[in-house]
Structure 1
Amino acid sequence: MKTYYVYILECSDKSYYTGFTSKLQARVIEHQTGKYPDSYTHNRRPIKLVFHAEFTNPNQAIESEKQIKKWSRAKKEALINNAFENLPNLSKKKFKD
């Protein structure tokens, strides 16, 4: 059974990049070496892999990637730090008084 990965990279400017692949190590090396000059990470190297999750269903992995890309920085950091209990509160909309 093939394995798919959703991953988060921390870039040199402290931004996060979220991606999807079936070959995690090879893909991280591509980011590190700047294989694609037009990519988000190319001018933000060096990068560091800070999170990854494994999936056996590619559609679930793609949906997870899309969901994480929409998350706030705080929510991504909770995921990276395994603070799963914080995720629901970070999803709540803040209303001004």
Structure 2
Amino acid sequence: MWHLYLIRTKLGHLYTGITQDVQRRYKEHQEGGVKAAKSLKGKKPLILVFHQEIGSHSLALKTEAAIKKWPKEKKESLVRKEIPLAI
């Protein structure tokens, strides 16, 4: 099962990603090792602010791509649970 997640950086930026194991992936990002996203390095502290089960890898990829195009305020509305993640 695939999940979509959003992480907030120390500057307030939102990083969007997908994984099969949210806690493992979040830990990888926090540790900053070779498996961490390059765009998150040096931007700690990182806070996991949203995650939701998506389903298939294909659907997760499509959802991730769509959310990455959203303006920041729409992503913030998703984090605040003001809007649903329509899949």
Give the TM-score normalised by structure 1: 0.80
State the AA in 1 paired with 2:27.
I
1:49 corresponds in structure 2 to 48
Identity %: 33
Q: Does 1:31 align with 2:29?
A: yes
Deviation track 1:37-70 (CA, whole Å, cap 9, x = no partner) reads 7711111111000011102211111111001001
Q: Which has the higher relative contact order, 1 or 2, with Cα contacts under 8 A spaced 6 or more apart?
A: 2
Larger helix percent: 1
RMSD: 1.8
Distance in 2 separating the partners of 1:35 and 1:46 = 15
Instruction: Count how many residue pairs are aligned between Structure 1 and Structure 2.
Output: 84
Runs of 4+ in 1 over 6 A off after TM superposition: none
State the AA in 1 paired with 2:8.
E
Question: Residue 38 and residue 76 in structure 1: after superposition, are their counterparts in 2 closer, same or farther (change >3 A)?
Answer: closer
Give the TM-score normalised by structure 2: 0.88
Q: In structure 1, list runs of 5 or more residues that go unmatched.
A: 88-97
Q: Max radius of gyration: which structure?
A: 1
Q: In structure 2, list runs of 5 or more residues that go unmatched.
A: none
